[in-house]
Amino acid sequence: MGSTGSKERAAVIGVGQTKYSSTRGDVSMAGLVREAAYRALEMAGRSWDDIDAVVIGKAPDFFEGVMMPEIYLAEALGCVGKPILRVHTAGSVGGSTALVATSLVQAGIHGTVLTLGFEKQSESNAMWALSLPSPFTTSINAGAGGYFSPIIRRYMEVTQAPELIGAMVALKDRQHALRNPYAHVQDPDLTFDKVVESPMLWDPIRFSETCPSSDGACALVLTNEAGGDAHDGPVAWVHGTAMRSEANNYGGRNVVSPQASEDCAADVFAQAGITNPRKEIDAVEMYVPFSWYEPMWLESLGFAEKGEGWKMVESGATHMDGGDLPVNCSGGVLSSNPIGASGMIRFAEAALQVMGEAGEHQVDGARRSFGHAYGGGAQYYAMWVVGADKP
Partner 1 sequence: MGYNQDPSVPPAALSGAVSIPDALADLEPVRSVTTPLRMEYTATPGASLSKYLRAMKEKRIIGDVCPDTGMVFVPPRGVSPVSGKRTTETVDVADEGYIESFNITRIPIKGRDDLHPPYVSAWVVPDGSNTGSIALVAGDDLDLDDVRIGMRVKAVWKPDDELEESAANILHWEPTGEPDAEVPDMMRIGRPTDGGAQ
Restricting to residues 169-228, name those near partner 1 by CB under 8 A. Answer: 181-182, 199-205
Strand-pair partners of 241: 384
Closest separation in Å from C-beta 6 to partner 1: 30
- Burial (CB count <10 Å: 0-12, 13-18, 19+), residue 189: exposed
Q: What gap in Å lies between CA 368 and CA 373, rounded to an integer?
A: 17
Residue 160 makes contact with partner 1 by CB under 8 A: no
- The binder of partner 1 chosen from 6, 81, 136, 321 (CB under 8 A): 136
Residue 163 makes contact with partner 1 by CB under 8 A: no
Closest separation in Å from C-beta 260 to partner 1: 11
Closest separation in Å from C-beta 108 to partner 1: 25
Residue 319 makes contact with partner 1 by CB under 8 A: no
- The binder of partner 1 chosen from 234, 326, 332, 343 (CB under 8 A): 234
Select from 106, 374, 101, 92 the least CA-distant residue to 239: 106
- What track of x and - describes contact with partner 1 for positions 19 through 48 (by CB under 8 A)? x-----xx-------xx--xx-xxxxx---
Closest separation in Å from C-beta 109 to partner 1: 26
Closest separation in Å from C-beta 173 to partner 1: 19
Tell me whether residue 103 or residue 117 sits nearer to partner 1 (CB atom): 117
Residue 294 makes contact with partner 1 by CB under 8 A: no
Tell me whether residue 87 or residue 339 sits nearer to partner 1 (CB atom): 339
Q: What gap in Å lies between CA 115 and CA 307, rounded to an integer?
A: 37
Select from 213, 218, 265 the least CA-distant residue to 372: 265
- The binder of partner 1 chosen from 3, 175, 198, 259 (CB under 8 A): 259
Name, in order, each residue with C-beta under 8 angstroms of 21's C-beta and a sequence gap of 6 or more.
Answer: 184, 214, 215, 216
Vertex 250 angle, CA 247 and 256, to 5°: 80
- The binder of partner 1 chosen from 8, 9, 10, 15 (CB under 8 A): 15
Query: Distance of CA 359 to CAs 48, 149, 314, 326, Å?
Result: 27, 34, 26, 15
Residue range at the interface with partner 1 (CB under 8 A); choices 84-92, 242-250, 265-273, 329-337: 242-250
Tell me whether residue 76 or residue 164 sits nearer to partner 1 (CB atom): 76
The two beta strands, 236-245 and 380-387, are antiparallel
Q: What gap in Å lies between CA 50 and CA 55, rounded to an integer?
A: 15
